[in-house]
Amino acid sequence: MSATENVKRCQQAALWIKAQLPTEWIPTIGIILGSAMGSVAERMDICKTLDYRDIPGFLVTTNVSHAGKMYFGVLGGKITCIMSGRFHHYEGYSYEELSIPVRVLSLIGVKTLIVTNAAGGVNESYRVGDIMVISDHIKLMGDSPMLGPNAELFGSRFFDVSKLYTPALRTLAHHAAASLNPAVTLKEGVYFFMGGPQFETPAEIRAIRLLGGDAVGMSTVTETLTAAHASMDVLGFSLITNMAAGMLDQPLSDEEVGVAARAASGTMSALIEKVLQNL
């Protein structure tokens, strides 16, 4: 896909979405939810639901635990868009195509992006059910979503990612979690991207720990890099759904991830709502 075609698809999708929404419902906050965390949308006062498959130029979700819907409405008193269902490289999308959802949000008017994901705990002090605020990420494999001629419409060729995960939002997240009832203490650490769809080998996990990863997952970084390119503020939460490969004497499964994600979805929803209230 050429840069021009990428921009055209984003513009087509954004124009179509905006045409479905009254002006006062155009959001400045976007949320992309990880697998089995769709219950965040249950807390929203929804004014409009759009199916990904109806949006011209958009991508189609292939993952059964992702709804493939975009919700527009009010959450925590803020006009927000929730994308329930995200896209991954392992589904067959190129890294460049994976820029489309966030670019569409940017063209609609979103300035702050909040992402959640399910991740394996690499840091030995983490436990299943912990929520980690992403302080930074490591992406050593795969192309950049900004590969190819630069789409000037969004940002410049070379862009700074030294504070990709907005420090003020991270602080706000810790305060929000502490003010929940019951209070939640968040971890904070580095998200290490792996392409999947296989889980990692125990040797990979040992290497990831040595390299500075605290949690490992197969998503998020293409979205947050795209957001950084488009000068958005970014906040990311990883829900630790399992201890990473080799840390416990048991095989990893998608089922285990889903069970843990569903168990924590209430806390994640309350946390996100509180973050929005405090924004």
List beta partners, residue 48: 72
List beta partners, residue 158: none
Query: How many Å from the N-terminal Cα to the C-terminal Cα in the chain?
Result: 37
User: Contact with ligand HPA (CB under 6 A): which of 120, 155, 189, 213?
Assistant: 120
Of 23-31, 81-89, 93-101, 210-218, the segment contacting ligand HPA by CB under 6 A is 210-218
Query: 68, 51 in Cβ contact below 8 A?
Result: yes
Amino acid type, 7: V
The verdict on 241 binding ligand HPA (CB under 6 A) reads: yes
Residue 200: how many CB atoms within 10 A of its CB? 21
For ligand HPA, the closer of residues 35 and 106 by Cβ is: 35
CA angle, 174 as apex, 172 and 175 as ends, to 5°? Answer: 65
The verdict on 275 binding ligand HPA (CB under 6 A) reads: no
Sign of the alpha-carbon dihedral angle for 188, 194, 195, 200: negative
The verdict on 244 binding ligand HPA (CB under 6 A) reads: yes
Q: For tokens 């209430």, what's the residue?
A: 266
Total residues contacting ligand HPA by CB under 6 A comes to 14
The verdict on 192 binding ligand HPA (CB under 6 A) reads: no
For ligand HPA, the closer of residues 120 and 145 by Cβ is: 120
Which H or E run contains 74?
A: strand 69-75
The verdict on 110 binding ligand HPA (CB under 6 A) reads: no
The verdict on 32 binding ligand HPA (CB under 6 A) reads: no
The tokens of 14 are what? 């954004």
Amino acid type, 141: M
Which H or E run contains 20?
A: helix 3-20
For ligand HPA, the closer of residues 91 and 200 by Cβ is: 200
Q: How far is the CB of 60 from ligand HPA (least distance, A)?
A: 21
The verdict on 199 binding ligand HPA (CB under 6 A) reads: yes
The verdict on 242 binding ligand HPA (CB under 6 A) reads: yes
User: Contact with ligand HPA (CB under 6 A): which of 67, 119, 227, 232?
Assistant: 119
User: Contact with ligand HPA (CB under 6 A): which of 91, 130, 200, 233?
Assistant: 200
Q: How far is the CB of 251 from ligand HPA (least distance, A)?
A: 11
The verdict on 6 binding ligand HPA (CB under 6 A) reads: no
Residue 246: how many CB atoms within 10 A of its CB? 14
Query: 185, 112 in Cβ contact below 8 A?
Result: no
User: Contact with ligand HPA (CB under 6 A): which of 13, 44, 114, 118?
Assistant: 118
The phi, psi pair for 146, rounded to 5°, reads: -100, 20
Q: How far is the CB of 69 from ligand HPA (least distance, A)?
A: 21
The tokens of 57 are what? 């130029």
Query: What is the contact surface with ligand HPA in residues (CB under 6 A)?
Result: 118-120, 194, 199-200, 216-218, 241-242, 244, 252, 257
